[in-house]
């Protein structure tokens, strides 16, 4: 990792991505960790998935998110930290009625930075799942329609 400051308004090298309707702005990237700021519009979500090789966390800045671990739903607001251990399926949902902002992190960084480069602007769910699997993120199949 290089020393220095990533300004609040910038991403590394001026980078930001549109991933599943969220704006992700990378703030720190090294082999040991990857941090990004996220702007998460109301009504958007990241479907349930597993990081088999990384621990993940979210520090809430504004708004609220719900995180589902299996059938358990946990709500988080400003100042809360959401912990998602490697190997544990989780889905992230903004059902709050307002936008949310937060800082995500993973350790180690593994292939997630490269995944976001590949996913920037991808809207086809099957392609999102395919690319994610190539980068060590495994989406769960959708629940059976009753």
**Which residue segments constitute the domains of the chain, with CATH numbers given?**
14-136 (2.60.120.10)
Alpha helices in the chain (DSSP H): 112-119, 125-134
**Per-residue pLDDT at 146 exceeds 50:** no
Res 70: pLDDT: 85
- β-partners of residue 49 are 90, 139
3-state class of 91 per DSSP? strand
DSSP secondary structure letter of residue 144: P
The two tokens of residue 116 are 């976001």
d(CA 121, CA 35): 20
**Residue range 7-24: mean pLDDT, rounded:** 94
Provide the pLDDT for residue 48: 95
What pLDDT, on the 0 to 100 scale, is given for residue 144?
59
């Amino acid at each position: 990792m290089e020393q220095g400051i990533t300004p609040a308004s910038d991403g590394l090298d001026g980078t930001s991505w549109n991933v599943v309707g969220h704006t992700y702005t990378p703030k720190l990237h090294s082999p040991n960790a990857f941090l990004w700021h996220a702007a998460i519009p109301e009504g958007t979500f990241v479907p349930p998935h597993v990081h088999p090789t990384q621990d993940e966390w979210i520090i809430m800045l504004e708004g609220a998110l719900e995180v589902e671990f299996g059938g358990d739903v946990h709500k988080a607001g400003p100042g809360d930290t959401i912990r998602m251990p490697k190997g544990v399926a989780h889905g992230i949902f903004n059902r709050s009625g307002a936008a949310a902002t937060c800082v995500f992190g993973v350790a180690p960084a593994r292939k997630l930075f490269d995944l976001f480069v590949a996913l920037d602007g991808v809207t086809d769910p099957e392609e999102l799942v395919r690319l994610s699997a190539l980068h060590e993120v495994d989406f769960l199949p959708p629940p059976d329609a009753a």
